[in-house]
Amino acid sequence: MAGQAQVLNEAVRKATTTRHVFVAPAALAKLPDAVRAAGDRPPLIVADPNTMEAAGRDALALLSQAGLSPSVPVVLEVAPRVKPHASIARDIAGVIRERGALPVAVGSGVINDLTKYAAELAGTPYMCVATAASMDGYAASGAALLDDGFKRTLGCAPPVSIVADLNVIARAPSRMAGWGYGDLAGKIVAGADWKLADFLGEEPINPEPFVLVQDNVRGWLSRPGEVGRGDPAALGDLVNGLLVSGFAMQAHGNSRPASGAEHLISHVWEMERLTHEGEPAAHGACVGIGTVAILALYEWFLSQDIDEVVIAQAESAASSPDQVEAEIRAAFQDSHIADSARTEMRAKLEQAARRGERLATLAANWPAFRDELRRSCVPPDQMESWLRQAGAPAHPADLGVPLAKLAAEYRRARLIRRRFTILDLLDDLGWLDRGVAALMADDGFWGERSKGQGRRVATA
């Protein structure tokens, strides 16, 4: 744990906004110090009933005892869970302005994003008290919120201070740590995709944020069984990994260090409001499944041979603007999602002239680059096992998603962001549909998992 703390301290030093981070048992006691360091505004706790019970009441008591005159908390009482609506953040911003307060998010993903955006609108810094090891957004800039019916990442600053009390986090529902583990697992794909984009001249690697995540991610993922059992030390490492990932995003200026094609699958499901057993599917659950899905695609891709003959055969494989438009119309019924996809794909099509150069570079360097990518990836069956041990969803059926739907998501996911990933390279080669079909075949990765394993699998 000492080594992980050192990595976290180094990440904080590289962060653009966050100055104080406390990760330890009983770390909540540090909240008054963090509030004093942020200025003389009265602290305003933003929570929901569950997080108010988990840490909000204790935080309020600590602030009162310290003579910091906390404002009356904003408790968002929406069942079964608070929704990530930008309109709620705007209402919170009004309260912050009216009271001249310093907002303190007490909660995890949605509470943190709502407070983060509200603080941005109100023109004030904010801080957060983490209540679960469920996602990497605590330390990241931007807030993923539903605005005008569409999930967008809205620009806003990260917190100036983060308090993560491991006693509080250990009391959170165990599935939430599974979600965090799934979000962290996605960093494996993020690293491989960034290497791919860098090698093919699409987006250069920023060395410090890249190394911060990729040199440590396997260590963060190395104790899945202990995460699943709620071991405090393992949860501490998980929290550190999630925070460091957020700081890497701060340092780079966007989510590239922590997000690749696995997040694109997750974003499609979240934008279309996938639910499971009556609740919105959790971000980390979607990312974990997306991670297995993309690692399976990488495994297939890395088993192929690529030479000049393959490149010549791929010359006519590129999608034309008309084909992309037809694909978008068929893929998305929601006009907001479709319009956003058009904007993103226009940016990708501007790079179409470089397609030949990308493929020539790939063919000329394939054996060595294939070995490099293999070192970056984790076999998908290994990742599936780790997720299971951590108590995280690992198969689309775990969220009620049929395999036929997952097959479509491989192509739809490519359409929603301009970020270059394995999905785009396979489209360059004309191999995307071929690769997905191989995974879904009876002897393919997903086909094998749909039979004879006693798993509840949706197949149609």
Using alpha carbons, select from 177, 197, 344 the residue that is nearest to residue 259. 197
The number of residues in the chain equals 460
Residue type present at position 68: L
Does residue 188 sit in the same domain as residue 126? no
> pLDDT digits over 100-153, tens only?
999 999 998 899 999 999 999 999 999 999 999 998 889 988 888 888 766 778
* 84 vs 274, higher pLDDT: 274
Neighbours of 364 (CB within 10 A): 13
For residue 163, give the 3-state DSSP assignment. strand
For residue 451, give the 3-state DSSP assignment. coil
> pLDDT digits over 228-273, tens only?
999 988 999 999 999 999 999 988 988 999 999 999 999 999 888 8
303, pLDDT greater than 90: yes
Supply the pLDDT for residue 80.
67
Residue 328 within a domain: yes
Distance CA 205, CA 196 (A): 10
Residue 17 within a domain: yes
Residue 408 within a domain: yes
Does residue 324 sit in the same domain as residue 388? yes
Residue type present at position 129: V
Does residue 159 sit in the same domain as residue 42? yes
Does residue 312 sit in the same domain as residue 410? yes
Supply the pLDDT for residue 455.
40
Residue 457 within a domain: no
370, pLDDT greater than 80: yes
Strand-strand pairing, 161-165 and 127-130: parallel
Taking the mean position of all CA atoms in its chain, how far away is CA 397? 20
Distance CA 201, CA 439 (A): 28
Residue 244 within a domain: no
Does residue 125 sit in the same domain as residue 265? no
**H or E segment to which residue 24 belongs:** strand 20-24
Does residue 99 sit in the same domain as residue 165? yes
Distance CA 388, CA 437 (A): 25
Does residue 50 sit in the same domain as residue 94? yes
Does residue 139 sit in the same domain as residue 196? no
Does residue 87 sit in the same domain as residue 193? no
* Region at 262 (left for phi over 0; alpha for psi -120 to 50; beta for the rest): alpha
Does residue 91 sit in the same domain as residue 179? no
**Percent of the chain residues topping a pLDDT of 90:** 78
Find the mean pLDDT for residues 397-413: 96
> pLDDT digits over 323-348, tens only?
999 999 999 998 988 998 999 999 99
Residue 324 within a domain: yes
Query: Which domain does 88 fall in, by range?
Result: 2-171
Question: In the structure, what pLDDT confidence band is assigned to residue 453 with cuts at 50, 70 and 90?
Answer: very low
Distance CA 45, CA 59 (A): 8
Domain of residue 433, CATH code: 1.20.1090
Distance CA 214, CA 198 (A): 15
Domain of residue 142, CATH code: 3.40.50.1970
Contact in structure between 388 and 382 (CB atoms under 8 Å): no
Supply the pLDDT for residue 149.
63
62, pLDDT greater than 80: yes
Across all residues in the chain, what is the average pLDDT?
92
Neighbours of 310 (CB within 10 A): 17
Distance CA 131, CA 427 (A): 41
Does residue 187 sit in the same domain as residue 163? no
- Spell out the residues 6+ positions from residue 256 whose beta carbon is closer than 8 angstroms to its own: 190, 194, 203, 206, 209, 249, 419
**Beta strands across the sheet bearing 20-24:** 20-24, 161-165, 127-130, 102-107, 43-47, 74-75
Does residue 109 sit in the same domain as residue 122? yes
Distance CA 20, CA 29 (A): 14
410, pLDDT greater than 90: yes
Angle, in degrees to the nearest 10, between helices 174-199 and 261-271: 130
Number of domains within the chain: 2
- Full DSSP string of 216-241: THHHHTS-HHHHHTT-HHHHHHHHHH
Answering whether pTM is above 0.85, one says yes
Q: Give me the residue label for tokens 């192509």.
A: 411
91, pLDDT greater than 90: yes
278, pLDDT greater than 90: no
Supply the pLDDT for residue 458.
35
